[in-house]
Chains A and B, each alone.
Chain A
Amino acid sequence: MLTGRNPELVAPRREHGEKGLDLLEMRMTGRNFLVGDSLSIADISLFA
């Protein structure tokens, strides 16, 4: 996708990603960290 060779993949992947982000947003409402009360590898793993 980064190279632009498969532009048809962009829209469905974006939609897929946005679904995930919506879920994350719901999960993170009222919380600072994904799991527990402190930073963990769960939070770090979401960077990419």
Chain B
Amino acid sequence: MTALFGFVAHHLPTANASPVACGRRTNRSAKTRFSSESLAVGSDRLNHGAGPGRSSPQPVRLYDYPASGNCYKARLLLALLDQPYERVPVDTFAGDTLTTEFGRLNPARETPILELDGGEMIVQSNAVLWYLGEGSEYLPGVPRPGLGGPMAALRAGVDRPRYWCCPILHADRT
């Protein structure tokens, strides 16, 4: 365990990484309520650059509550993948998730939410991890025909219920 946490600590993503130009920007959903910033953690690429073994990455937007461990997981993988993204800060305890606007993004009113370029919303942190990890070294053995493809988003949505409970909650059943 110690080695794992040492490895991850070395790759810690922060919410204050240098913003970079993010290429095509979209004007959808919660833009009126939430301000956003473009991040490329560990990268100064101007495009939505591909990570190792990836093709045609599409812009993504992360609705992110910085203090959330679940949001941290998404930020960590985005950083490890060197995947630029647009970060939309959400303050759960200030009531941001209680707005009608946020409810349209995720009726469960939870973060993180990964919004894809086509407007699909991937919720549940482990579904986000699976979606982002497909085709990368962090999800070995799972090929990805095209990053951000509609099928990947669909799979992440279909898989969502199985991520509602984390492995620790299932621990006594394994």
Contact = CB atoms under 8 A, between A and B. Distances in A.
A and B: interacting chains: yes
Interface of A: 16-17, 19-21, 23-25, 28, 32-34, 36, 38-41, 43-48
Contacts of A25: 1
A47 B76 contact: yes
B73 A40 contact: no
Given A19-B171, A39-B7, A45 B166 contact: yes
14 contacts: A16-B168, A20-B170, A20-B171, A23-B171, A23-B174, A25-B1, A39-B8, A41-B77, A45-B73, A45-B166, A45-B167, A47-B69, A47-B73, A48-B166
Question: Main secondary structure on chain B at its contact with chain A?
Answer: helix
A31 to B, nearest CB: 9
B140 A20 contact: no
Contacts of A39: 4, 7-8, 80, 138
B149 to A, nearest CB: 18
B140 A44 contact: no
Given A16-B169, A19-B171, A20-B171, A44 B129 contact: yes
B4 A45 contact: no
Given A20-B167, A39-B80, A48-B70, 13 more contacts: A16-B171, A17-B168, A19-B171, A19-B172, A20-B171, A24-B171, A25-B1, A34-B4, A41-B77, A41-B133, A41-B138, A44-B138, A45-B126
